[in-house]
Amino acid sequence: MPGFELFGDKERKELNDVLDNGILMRYGFDGMRKGHWKAKDLEKTLESKLQVKHAQVVSSGTAAVSVAMAAAGIGSGDEVIMPTFTFVASFEAIMMLGAVPVLVDIDNTLTLDPKAVEAAITPKTKAIMPVHMCGSMANMDALQAICKKHNLILIEDSSQATGATYKGKPLGSIGDLGCLSLDFVKIITAGEGGAVLTNNEKFYTNSDHFSDHGHDHKGNDRGAETHPFLGYNFRISELHAAVGLAQLRRLDEFVAIQKKNYSILREALSTIPEITFRTVPEGGEESYSFLSFFLPDLDIARKASKVLKDSGVDACFHYYDNNWHYIRKWNHLKDIKSLYPISSEVKSGLKYLQTKTFEQSDHYIARNISCLIKLSWTEEQVRERAQLMVHAITSTLNK
């Protein structure tokens, strides 16, 4: 991860197909395309590869979450339960629809704690959104059971875990809706892009229409299409879809490389008694895009993070001090800093963040370091990196 490390002839071929016919828009201009429909082909390949009936590609992973929620009828004043450890896009996408993000604790999976989810449910709760961070997953059986018990919608955000599986099923195919990111730093990249996945016919149709100004996409005359409901522009371009299509066809190749590199690093770090690794739910297999582990306490994790960086070990993240991925520094959310007026329902719904603390999440994130697994490393480079990591961490522990 990310896929851009291995751009090559396959990506260039798909791009050249688009440039040769000159049609950059995913809809219309049928006669000029010479048979090339990259967005449609990307959707079909996603459906096959990720074992879902329907895929709708859109302009970003953030757009995918908003489109998925709109497709399921989530909006003003509805509460959506999400984790404290994610990317800021999670709450942004929820708030864009006028819904309220309800943040709850993670556990040692680094994803939603089912017990915390159950405790956060109110009459306003409409959906639960696990975010499969750093290549691994939440306990999907437990979350599905909660959703069934309370009649809630389960929306998977597997933007950082494309290629991972849970009990044989690809992440993103398990919930009522799944969301992917295809941005520049994901294992499969389109440069910019995302996708909504579902087995629900109604949710798919809603996603298809909503992401293109409400167009019903019936017939072959775009100008004559009707608008059953309001929508917005979340379309992907053919250029982006072309890159994503070539990359998706290489997913198994990418995961295999990541697994090999991950395994070498994990074996080396396993020799350090003070290290424990994130829990992967039973039946789950990671995408191996990150190696995530815990150190004894915050002070050691901070020191180790600095020593790793000083030793030339890049892309190891201590998220406790990160501005983008953990609740601790999301002051713009806590203080509701916005360029436009926020609805009274959302303002009222976010008041809990003024006093709410997340000790359990702190317990895990404070001690966690997550290291990106690169596709471009040679085996020699991975083994050298493993030695540097072991030395950096043991030297920190022995001080």
Considering the domain architecture, whether residues 88 and 188 belong to the same structural domain is answered as: yes
* pLDDT tier at 123, thresholds 50, 70, 90: very high
Q: What percent of the chain has pLDDT over 70?
A: 100
Paired strand residues for 266: none
- Please state, as a whole number, how many other Cβ atoms lie within 10 Å of the Cβ of residue 304: 24
> What is the separation, in whole angstroms, between the first and last Cα of the chain?
33
The phi, psi pair for 231, rounded to 5°, reads -150, -175
Last residue of a domain, one of 215, 234, 250: 250
pLDDT at 144: 98
Residue 297 is given by DSSP the state S
What pLDDT does 49 receive?
Answer: 98
Instruction: Say whether both 186 and 263 belong to one domain.
Output: no
Residue 317, helix vs strand vs coil: strand
Statement to judge: residues 226 and 190 lie in one domain: yes
32 and 167 assigned to the same domain? yes
Give the CATH number for residue 57: 3.40.640.10
Taking alpha carbons only, the member of 184, 245, 171 closest to residue 17 is 245
**How high is the pLDDT of residue 189?**
98
Nearest 5°: CA angle at 147, between 142 and 152?
A: 160
Q: If you average pLDDT over residues 94-112, what whole number do you get?
A: 98
Q: What pLDDT does residue 399 have?
A: 81
Cβ-count burial of 224 within 10 angstroms (0-12 exposed, 13-18 middle, 19+ buried)? exposed
CB 196 within 8 A of CB 56: yes
Q: What's the total number of domains in the chain?
A: 2
Q: What pLDDT does residue 145 have?
A: 98
- Pair (242, 286) in one structural domain: no
* Domain closes at, from 250, 265, 289: 250
- Out of 230, 250, 270, pick the residue that ends a domain: 250
Structure tokens at 368: 């966690």
Q: Give the Cα separation of 360 and 106 in Å (integer).
A: 7
Tens-digit pLDDT profile for residues 234-243: 999 999 999 9
pLDDT digits (tens, 9 = 90+) for 330-358: 999 999 999 999 999 999 999 999 999 99
Do residues 302 and 272 both lie within one domain? yes
42-46: average pLDDT: 98
| Whether residue 382 sits in one domain with residue 308 | yes
- The residue-averaged pLDDT of 30-55 equals 96
* pLDDT tens digits, 359-370: 999 999 999 999
pLDDT tens readout for residues 19-32 = 999 999 999 999 99
Pairing of strands 125-128, 79-83: parallel
273 C-beta neighbours (distance < 10 Å), count: 7
Residues 312 and 179 in one domain: no
256 shares its domain with 217? no
**Lookup: tokens for 315:** 């892309």
| Backbone angles phi and psi of 393, in degrees to 5 | -75, -40
pLDDT tens digits for range 132-161? 999 999 999 999 999 999 999 999 999 999
Which pLDDT tens digit goes with each residue over 263-281?
A: 999 999 999 999 999 999 9
Looking at residues 23-49, what average pLDDT do you find?
96
Where do the H-state alpha helices sit in the chain? Answer: 9-21, 38-49, 61-71, 89-96, 114-120, 140-150, 201-210, 238-248, 251-269, 298-310, 331-334, 344-349, 359-365, 379-397
Q: What is the mean pLDDT of residues 108-112?
A: 98
Question: Which residues, other chains included, contact 218 with Cβ-Cβ below 8 Å and sequence gap of 6+?
Answer: 225, 226
Q: Are residues 359 and 379 in the same domain?
A: yes
Contact call for residues 375 and 3 (beta carbons, < 8 A): yes
CATH code for the domain of 324: 3.90.1150.10
368 and 256 co-located in one domain = yes
265 and 246 within one domain: no
Average pLDDT of the chain, as a whole number: 97
The model's pLDDT over 284-327, given as tens digits with 9 standing for 90+, comes to 999 999 999 999 999 999 999 999 999 999 999 999 999 999 99
Residues of the chain with pLDDT > 90, as a percent, come to: 99
Residue 46: domain span: 3-250
